[in-house]
Amino acid sequence: MEKKIMFWARECPHCKNMMPLVDRLIDEEGIEIEKLEIWHNEENADLMRSYKDVIAPKCGGQLRTPTFFDT
């Protein structure tokens, strides 16, 4: 199974709303999701930017949080 990445931001209300669901997917469904905070971690933000050509067209041309990415 592919690993998924959730790019999220600590202050993002949408991310906060998604966290319980993401945790359930991990705990109950065994889905491998790596949660990477991007507003306070430049390395994670750089990784998200490296996927911009794939992510942005599906998000109105922007990089937004939360974003899920299949690796």
Q: Which structural domains are found in the chain, ordered by start?
A: 4-70 (3.40.30.10)
Structure confidence by residue, pLDDT tens digits, 24-63: 999 999 999 999 999 999 999 999 999 999 988 888 888 9
Backbone angles phi, psi at 12, to 5 degrees: -80, 120
Tokens matching residue 20? 């319980």
Is the CB of residue 5 less than 8 Å from the CB of residue 36?
A: yes
The continuous run of DSSP H or E covering 66 comes out as none
Task: Kindly indicate the confidence band of residue 1, based on its pLDDT and cuts at 50, 70 and 90.
Answer: low
pLDDT of residue 71: 84
pLDDT of residue 30: 93
pLDDT of residue 44: 98
CA distance 13 to 30: 25
CA distance 18 to 51: 21
